[in-house]
Amino acid sequence: MRKLRLLTTASLAGILLVNAVLLVGLALRETRAAPRYEDLQLFSRVLSLVQEHYVNEVDERELIEGAIEGLLSKLDPHTSYLSRDLYQEIQRDTKGEFEGLGIEITKGTDYVTVVSPIDGTPAAAAGLRARDQIVAVCPEATEDSCKSTQDMNLLEAVKLMRGPRGTKIMIQVLREGWMTPKPFVIKRDAIKVSSVRQNEIEPGMPYVRISQFQERTSRDLRDALAVARSAGPIRGLVLDLRDNPGGLLEQAVNVADLFLRQGVIVTSEGRSNGSGMQWTAQAEGTEPDYPIVVLVNGGSASASEIVAGALQDHERAIVMGEETFGKGSVQTIIPLEDESGLRLTTALYYLPEGRSIQETRIKPDVVVEQFSEAQVEAIEEAGERKSFGEVDLEGHLASPEGEDPGEAAEGEEDETPLTRAERFTRQLQRDRQLARAVDLLKSWSIFSRLDLGGAGG
């Protein structure tokens, strides 16, 4: 499967998301092999013939860009040409502010496939899921504007999904278990993504989700842990990297470094000088040694795999969930003279134990499959029914603390908005992987207090 990392963004509905990308200028060095001028002459000759004899007048700039895109398509799916617009948008992406639908996509053997929707975006609100296949894009939100993605490259799909924010687009989606595609109409919007979101499992036990690795991610993670620590020492942490498509390599290293005192975090190895690098952990600023459960799934890719793999190799955390995406290459963004750019695969990265995850993925220490759609629906239906208890018995004694909890004023309905804690409790009921991680942390905390050595005799 071709696994190009793309993020659809809304007045530009599609834009490349940096996945373990080194955002640095690459000094252009002389190539070892001398250029084949006869091949360049052939290209120039073809270009001249097209300009002179093609039935319609053509734009030379479009021809050149098309030739560059064709050249790069012969390499790997992560290498691509960035037009001026795309190059500017990729700078905005890393700051967490851009316009688009908010999904990362890849190109399979047939159709464009969703790697993951980004939290809080139109795509996530519309209900798109990882592994959904986008079989057609309808940029005008009408059936007669639909175009199949089967023979479409990712850049073409990206261009079709572009459009001013506030305008609507329709995509035809095929999901596992569906016999036919279903239409999703989504309104393009400006997106501002906060990459770190926090909740409290219980005092001293935070849940932190990182949706992608942006410029402020490691700083925001420190702040989130400081808030959790304000109520007392942290006794355990759930770090959720599910459906995290990656981002800045530097931020992935900083996040892993936050939990490691020493040792290699990640190594990159490439063909050119300077592409081989190694990042190591520093003791200063390291978090205390509390238990950590890292959640991953098939939407966890690139930079998120670096963090999960480094913590796993150093035995600093238990990795739970499902196998990750398996993207182990590093892309360098090279600015070009006309304000466009080149996204070039320059190296492969390797985890502390020397393993590459390119295509092989990260295997969880504890495999937990997520609830199916049918199981979630059953849970929601069960939640609407009250469980049977003392309050349901005829003639039961009322609570000494006042009003019978089973009684309410006739016609009275509780419409109070859910608190943050209540929303998190609901999430636990519908999220098997998160619930298992919480159970593991709580069990860990209980067993650590037991005097197992003093038992028996």
Supply the residues annotated as catalytic. Answer: 302, 313, 327
The full 3-state SS of the chain, as one line of letters, equals CCCCCEEECCCCCCECCCCCEECCCCCCCCCCCCCCHHHHHHHHHHHHHHHHHCCCCCCHHHHHHHHHHHHHCCCCCCCEEECHHHHHHHHHHHHCEEEECCEEEEECCCCEEEEEECCCCHHHHHCCCCCCEEEEEECCCCHHHCEECCCCCHHHHHHHHCCCCCCEEEEEEECCCCCCCEEEEEECEEEECCCEEEEEEECCEEEEEECCECCCHHHHHHHHHHHHHCCCCCCCEEEECCCCCCEEHHHHHHHHHCCCCCCEEEEEEECCCCCCEEEECCCCCCCCCCCEEEEECCCCCCHHHHHHHHHHHCCCCEEEECCCCCCCEEEEEEECCCCCEEEEEEEEEECCCCCCCCCCCCCCCEECCCCCHHHHHHHHHHHHCCCCCHHHCCCCCCCCCCCCCCCCCCCCCCCCCCCHHHHHHHHHHHCHHHHHHHHHHHHHHHHHHCCHHHCCC
